[in-house]
Amino acid sequence: MNAPANPHRFVSATSLMSFARRVGRVRQVSAGRIEADGPFATVGEFCSIEADDGAAPMLAEVVAVGDERVVLMPLGYARAVAPDARVTAVGHSGSAPVGHGVAGRLVSALGAPLDGRGEIFADEHRPIEGCVLEPLMRKEPDHVLETGLRVIDGLLPLGRGQRTGVFAASGVGKTTLMRQLAVQTDADKVVVCLVGERGKEVEGFWRAIQSMGAPQRFSMVAATSDMSAVLRARSVLQALCLCEFWRDQGQDVLLVIDSVTRAAMAMREIGLAAGAPPTVRAYTPNRGAIRRWTLRAAFRDRQSG
Ligand SMILES: Nc1ncnc2c1ncn2[C@@H]1O[C@H](COP(=O)(O)OP(=O)(O)OP(=O)(O)O)[C@@H](O)[C@H]1O
Ligand SMILES: [Mg+2]
C-alpha cells in the first residue's frame, strides 16, 4: 500500500474522524417524539433506532439535546420502538443533492426520486443551511417578471428577484393560482415545493407541469401531509438548494412553495416536540428560520447580476 502523499494532511484528517460508535438507549416514546439517554449528538444529526420487531432500523433526527437526554423525531412512521432500543448516531445529513440530474424530476425532501424514473445523479451536494446575501450585496428587482396572468402583470407587476405571498382563506384557489404561475411564468427554471399537501394534489400539480412540454424546466420537491414534520420542513431546504444551484449558474429561477403556512406548522411540530415554548398561535421560536428561507430565495447578487 502506498503511503499518503502528505502525511500531515492524513494526520489532520484522522483527528476529525470519530472512531467510537456513539450509542444510547430509548427511554420514552410518545406521539412523534422519542427520548433517549444518548448518543452524544448535535441538533440536526440523524440517528438510527433499532426496531423491536426485527424490521430495518428507523431513521430519526435529533431535535433537542440536554443533560444526558436527546429528543428525536422519526423520519417515518414510529412503529415498534420499545424502551431500551439502541440509538446509534449516523451523522449529519447536512447537504442536499442538486444538479442537472434533478431537472424535470419529482423528488422527496431528501432528494430521492418519487417519479419512478430511476436514480438521480447529482452534480453536487449543497449545505442545506445555504447562505443569505449581505444587505448591500442584494440587487433590487429591476426587470419585470411576466407571469402571463393579466390581472397580476397589469395591476400588481412582479419583479425578477422579488418574493411575494399569496394569502387567502382555505379552499379559495391559492394552489390553482400558483399552478398557473408555475406553468406560465417566464423563467428559465421553475422549482415547485409542495409541503404538507395531499398526494392527490401533488399528482395534479405534477401532471399540470408535465403537460407543458419542456419538462427539463420544471422540478418538484414534495413532502405530503402524511410524512413526518422533519421531512416536511426539510423539503423547503431541498428546494432552496436546487434554486440556488441554478441561480449560481446564471439562470432565472421561480420558486413556488405551497404552502409556507404548512411549513410553519411543520416547524411548530418540531419545536413543540423539542420542548420549545409555544407563542402566538402556539408557533414556537424556531419558525424564525422561515424568514431566513425567504431571504435565501430572493434577491440577486449585485456582483454576479
Ligand atoms: N378561478 C377559479 N374559478 C373557479 N373555481 C376555482 C378557481 N380557482 C380554484 N377553483 C376551485 O376551487 C377549489 C379549491 O382550489 P384550491 O385547491 O386551489 O384552493 P386553495 O386555496 O389552495 O385551498 P387550500 O387552502 O385547501 O390549500 C378547487 O376545486 C378549484 O378547482
Ligand atoms: Mg392549496
- Give me the phi and psi of 267, to 5 degrees please: -65, -35
Q: Measure the CA–CA gap between 180 and 174, rounded to whole angstroms.
A: 10
Q: Measure the CA–CA gap between 259 and 188, rounded to whole angstroms.
A: 22
Q: State how far Cα 181 lies from the chain centre.
A: 22
Question: Mind listing the domains of the chain with CATH numbers?
Answer: 7-92 (2.40.10.170), 95-301 (3.40.50.12240)
- Give me the phi and psi of 129, to 5 degrees please: -75, -20
Q: Measure the CA–CA gap between 278 and 285, rounded to whole angstroms.
A: 8
Task: Write the CB contacts of 282 (distance below 8 Å, at least 6 apart in sequence).
Answer: 268, 272
- pLDDT value at residue 2: 47
**Looking at residue 285, what DSSP letter applies?**
G
Q: Measure the CA–CA gap between 287 and 64, rounded to whole angstroms.
A: 15
- pLDDT value at residue 142: 86
Q: Determine the angle formed by the axes of helices 174-184 and 199-210, rounding to 10 degrees.
A: 30
- pLDDT value at residue 134: 84
- pLDDT value at residue 285: 84
Block mean pLDDT (10 aa), the chain, length 305 = 49 50 86 88 90 81 90 82 88 86 94 92 90 83 90 92 90 92 91 94 91 87 94 95 91 93 93 87 83 77 56
Q: How far, in Å, from the CA of 291 to the mean position of ligand 2?
A: 21
Of the ligands numbered here, which is closest to the C-alpha atom of 177? 1
Q: Is residue 169 within 6 Å of ligand 1 at its C-beta? A: no
Residue list, CB under 5 A from ion ligand 2: 174-175
Of the ligands numbered here, which is closest to the C-alpha atom of 173? 1
Q: Measure the CA–CA gap between 190 and 272, rounded to whole angstroms.
A: 33
CA nearest neighbour of 82 among 42, 43, 55, 62: 55
Q: What Rg value do the Cα atoms of the chain yield, rounded?
A: 21
Position 68, amino acid: E
- pLDDT value at residue 297: 72
Q: Measure the CA–CA gap between 48 and 215, rounded to whole angstroms.
A: 37
Q: How far, in Å, from the CA of 139 to the mean position of ligand 1?
A: 34
Q: How far, in Å, from the CA of 191 to the mean position of ligand 2?
A: 17
- pLDDT value at residue 303: 57
Of the ligands numbered here, which is closest to the C-alpha atom of 176? 1
Q: Measure the CA–CA gap between 4 and 11, rounded to whole angstroms.
A: 10
- pLDDT value at residue 78: 66
